[in-house]
Copies of this chain bind each other. A is one copy, B any other.
Amino acid sequence: MYSVLLSHIQKFISLEPFEIEILESGLGITKIKKKQHVLQEGQICNTMYFITKGCFRQYIINNKGTEQTLQFGVESWWITDYLSFHNQTPSHFYIQAVENSEIIAIEKLFLESLLIQIPKLERYFRIVSQKTFGAAQMRIKFLFTMSAEERYRHFSNLNPEFVQRVPQYMLASYLDFSAEFMSKIRAGKV
């Protein structure tokens, strides 16, 4: 469904019919099965992914061999490793589907040509990435100031439906505490 992307773009800029045409003719939807990766550590990230359906996560494997989720993405979110994408350096991250999902994958080269054909898209990506960075700043604030239990309660209040959607151990690592501690928080044994 391109419409998910088109309407997201048109929240921020307005597109002419010919621009919509360019986008629709160049883009394709890819289905990604649960647990499938679109990026692995060590690879150079050449693609930005727009999620039209489902859920993804960006994670790392720490030195104890445990996965730690750094970021989730759901419908209408972009997910990529921006550092690897821009600098063409090997990625530190894995990006994986948490559910059976559908994405629009845009290669770096194709994105550059799109940005030349539709310069307005620069504005779209500028606004989206500034907002995303703003959210990352708040995330760091919460990590710094709240206890594990406060982070869980705060997140659950803001995203009650999302908490049901992903395994607890993934959410625990995203909130920066252990899966076991998550269990104890939920059981009220803290």
Shortest distance in angstroms between A178's beta carbon and chain B's nearest beta carbon?
12
Shortest distance in angstroms between A183's beta carbon and chain B's nearest beta carbon?
20
User: Complex formed: what's the CA distance from A141 to B69 in Å?
Assistant: 9
A71 at the interface (CB under 8 A from B): yes
Query: Which chain B positions have C-beta within 8 A of A135?
Result: 83
Partner-binding segment picked from A1-9, A60-68, A158-166: A60-68
A70 at the interface (CB under 8 A from B): yes
B140 and A92 within 8 A (CB): no
Main secondary structure of the interface of A (DSSP, over half): helix
B127 and A123 within 8 A (CB): no
Of A63, A81, A127, A130, chain B has the most CB atoms within 10 Å of the CB of: A130
B62 and A145 within 8 A (CB): yes
A143 at the interface (CB under 8 A from B): yes
Closest chain B residue to A127, Cβ basis: B86
A82 and B145 within 8 A (CB): no
Interface of A toward B, CB cutoff 8 Å: 58, 60, 62-63, 68, 70-71, 81-86, 92-93, 115, 119, 122-123, 125-127, 129-141, 143-145, 173, 176
